[in-house]
Structure 1
């Protein structure tokens, strides 16, 4: 029985680390884009998305050992919504790198 419990604990830890990685990645992506790109993409403000993903990453860190808790699932959902819905819209407006290719005197 101890072997099964250890295996379950390990699986939960792996899920928690994967969830935290997803949440941190969403936070980094939310920070990368300019604040005017969010309304241009038809999404909520940068402050809202950075706050939501930062809180999600904090919840993911605190609940690293229990990724199946209610708040942990909400944190993963917020990160997933950002990565699936908001990030592609931001990339379509501003490009994949978070910056436009146009300098102060136009493009290359």
Structure 2
């Protein structure tokens, strides 16, 4: 049985690592990208993925961990690609301040 316990331990640690990576990525995307991609807002995903990480760390209940894995997979398969598409492949904007007239959705000529 110790071999099987070792395999389960590795699987649970992999699920935890996936959830932590998803939480970090959700935190790095800009809030307006969530609105532009027509997904739930940034706070929603931060709360959901934060709860998933907390459950994986502190509540070793298989059913809850599997539910958290589903939420993590939904983020990676559905939300992250949409956010990346809207953001132009960047997680955060490199521009600090003015100078460039291109906004996140194309040219912006608001200051005429």
TM over 0.5: yes
Q: What is residue 98 of structure 1 aligned with on the other side?
A: 91
Question: How large is the Cα RMSD of the aligned pairs?
Answer: 1.7
Query: Which consecutive segments of 4 or more residues in structure 1 shift more than 6 A?
Result: none
Comparing both chains, which one has the higher relative contact order based on Cα–Cα distances under 8 Å and sequence gaps of 6 or more?
1
The number of residues matched between the two structures is 100
**Higher helix fraction (1 or 2):** 1
User: What per-residue deviation string (whole Å, max 9, x for no partner) do you get for residues 12-55 of structure 1?
Assistant: 10001100001001100100011111010110100000100110
Aligned match for 2:77, one of 78, 84, 104: 84
Instruction: Give how far 1:102 is off.
Output: 5.0
Verify: 1:73 aligned to 2:69, yes or no. Answer: no
**Unpaired segments ≥5 residues, structure 1:** none
TM-score (normalised: structure 2): 0.81
Instruction: Give how far 1:7 is off.
Output: 0.4
TM-score (normalised: structure 1): 0.84
Superposed, which structure 2 residues align to 1:1-108 within 5 Å?
5-63=1-59, 66=60, 69-100=62-93, 104-106=98-100
